[in-house]
Copies of this chain bind each other. A is one copy, B any other.
Amino acid sequence: MVNQSAIPAPSLRRLPLYYRRLQQAIQDGEDIISSQALGEAAGVPAAQVRKDIGHLGEYGRPGVGYDVPSLTTRLEEFLGLVSEKRALIVGVGNLGRALASYPGFTRYGLHLRAVFDADPAKVGTTVAGLQIQSLSEIGTTIQQERIQMGIVTVPAPYAQEVADILVENGISVIWNFAPTSLVVPDSVLLQSVDLATELATLSHRIVRHRMRQIDPRA
């Protein structure tokens, strides 16, 4: 039995990239794939690929490579891509609209079942084939559609209030895109995507990158 808690975050973040490369391999009719080919898709050397995939308890055959169908199945299981996740979006601004229309989600088991907005002018209009609902309907919809996951794309000042409403109505997973820290009970799984944080990380890398062009040892 593999101890799944042992996988480091950077390794976990590369697995979907390997998975995407494997899907390409399937499309191209390849049965075997090298760790080097997988590494190219994630921008890491072959040795790192073998280490990452080792965390899944899977090993390629030395000098041959990985079996494409079995590694695909293992990744789908490990990443939970086979388990259906029913989701809703709160906040139909540009980002909410972008997420609602994102074609990559169903591939990862995400099914968007409802969208909500506080703006009465938006309620009743359609996005990604779904009618935008008023927040007052959220409890009923979560129950009827058996939704587990809430995607929060409201402006930062409203995000905590929305998270509280989601938690009260039984949502167990929150994917937060509002640039603010949310407080939720321990029983709720919270993952935040913060573009400002991403940008600050990039900004730091730009500074180091410039320094390195002046002094390669920096």
Tell me the A residues contacting B by CB distance below 8 Å. 4-5, 9-10, 12-13, 15-17, 19-20, 40-43, 78-81, 83, 85, 93-95, 97-99, 101-102, 104-105, 107-110, 149, 172-173, 175, 179-181, 187, 189, 191, 193-209, 213, 218
Contacts and interface: CB of A to CB of B under 8 A. Distances in A.
B104 A12 contact: no
Contact of A196 (B5, B16, B43, B200): B16
Given A181-B42, A203-B109, A16 B194 contact: yes
Nearest to A181: B41
Contacts of A85: 203, 206
Rank and list the top 10 A-B pairs by shortest CB-CB distance, nearest first: A94-B98, A80-B207, A16-B200, A95-B98, A80-B203, A104-B196, A16-B197, A94-B97, A191-B202, A108-B199
Contacts of A99: 195
Given A80-B206, A109-B203, A17 B181 contact: yes
A47 B26 CA distance: 47
Contacts of A16: 194, 196-197, 200-201
Given A9-B9, A189-B202, 18 more contacts: A15-B200, A16-B201, A20-B181, A20-B196, A78-B207, A80-B206, A83-B207, A94-B98, A102-B195, A104-B196, A105-B196, A107-B196, A108-B196, A108-B203, A173-B206, A175-B199, A191-B205, A193-B193
Contacts of A191: 198, 201-202, 205
A94 to B, nearest CB: 3
Contact of A13 (B109, B110, B201, B206): B201
15 contacts: A16-B194, A16-B201, A20-B180, A42-B181, A78-B207, A79-B203, A94-B95, A95-B95, A107-B196, A108-B196, A110-B199, A173-B206, A191-B201, A191-B202, A193-B195
